[in-house]
Chains A and B, each alone.
Chain A
Amino acid sequence: MKKLISGWTLIKLYTILVYVWMFAPIVAVVILAFNPQQFGTFPMEGFSFKWFVKLSQNSTILDAFKNSLVLGSLTAIFATAIGVPAAMAFIRYEFRGKDFLNTMLIAPIMIPEVVLGVALLLFIRWLQQPKSFAMLLIGHVVLTLPYVLLIVQARLVGIKREYEEAALSLGASPFQTFKEITFPLLAPAIFAGMLFAFTISFDDVTATLFWATAQNQTVPVKIFSMLRTSISPEINALGAVMIVLTVSIPLAAGYVARRFARGNTP
Chain B
Amino acid sequence: MKEKPWKPWLLLSPSLTAVFLLLVIPVCFVVVYSFWLRAPSGMDIPAFQFGNYAKFFADSFYPVILLNTIRVALETVFICLIMGYIPAYFFYRTESRLKPYLMILVMLPFWISFIIRTLSWINILGDSGLINHLLLKSGLISSPIPMLYNEGAVIMGLIQYLLPFMILNIYVSLDGIDKSLTEAAKSLGCTEWQAFREITLPLSLPGVSAGCLLVFVLTCGTYLPPMILGGPGNEMIANLIFKRIIGTLDWPFGSAISTILLLLLVLIVYTYNRYMGINQIFKSLSKG
Contacts and interface: CB of A to CB of B under 8 A. Distances in A.
A86 B223 contact: no
Contacts of B242: 114, 209-210
Given A112-B265, A220-B113, A24 B23 contact: no
Interface stretch (A45-53, A56-64, A180-188, A235-243): A235-243
Contact of B241 (A29, A82, A114, A145): A114
A123 interface: yes
A109 B221 CA distance: 11
A73 B276 CA distance: 37
Contact of A231 (B23, B126, B279): B126
Interface in B203-245: 217, 220-224, 227-228, 238, 241-242, 245
Interface stretch (B6-14, B54-62, B177-185): B6-14
A136 interface: no
Contacts of A150: 282, 285-286
B251 interface: yes
A154 B287 contact: yes
B30 A119 contact: yes
A89 interface: yes
Nearest to A98: B8
Given A41-B128, A231-B123, 9 more contacts: A11-B90, A15-B86, A86-B12, A86-B15, A114-B238, A115-B261, A119-B29, A122-B251, A205-B223
A89 B8 contact: yes
A113 to B, nearest CB: 6
B105 interface: yes
A32 B123 CA distance: 8
Contacts of B199: none
Contacts of A120: 22-23, 26
A28 B124 contact: yes
Task: Count chain B CB atoms within 10 A of each CB in A86, A122, A125, A242 and give the residue with the most.
Answer: A122
B25 interface: yes
Interface of B: 1, 3, 5, 7-12, 14-16, 18-19, 22-23, 25-27, 29-30, 33, 83-84, 86-87, 89-90, 93, 104-105, 108-117, 119-124, 126, 128-130, 133, 137, 160, 163, 192-193, 217, 220-224, 227-228, 238, 241-242, 245-246, 251, 254-255, 258, 261-262, 265, 269, 278-279, 282, 285-288
Nearest to B25: A123
Given A22-B160, A42-B130, A243 B113 contact: yes
Contacts of A42: 123, 128-130, 133
B123 A25 contact: yes
Contact of A25 (B108, B117, B227, B254): B117
A31 B239 CA distance: 31
Contacts of A165: 1
Contacts of B193: 7
A116 B262 CA distance: 10
Nearest to A138: B22
A11 B89 contact: yes
Contacts of B12: 85-86, 89-90, 101
- A interface secondary structure, majority: helix
A118 B22 contact: no
A28 B87 contact: no
Contact of B245 (A15, A81, A118): A118
9 contacts: A15-B90, A42-B130, A108-B23, A110-B265, A119-B26, A151-B288, A203-B115, A205-B115, A223-B116
Given A93-B3, A145-B19, A26 B26 contact: no
Interface in A1-48: 4, 7-8, 11-12, 14-15, 18-19, 21-26, 28-29, 32, 39-43
B238 A82 contact: no
A142 interface: yes
A15 B87 contact: yes
Contact of B262 (A39, A111, A113): A111
A25 B15 contact: no
A119 to B, nearest CB: 4
A23 B1 CA distance: 51
Q: 6 closest Cβ contacts across the A-B interface?
A: A112-B221, A25-B120, A119-B26, A93-B8, A41-B128, A154-B286
Given A138-B22, A231-B123, A85 B255 contact: no
A246 B111 contact: yes
A118 B114 contact: no
B178 to A, nearest CB: 20
Contacts of A113: 221, 223, 238
A118 B117 CA distance: 25
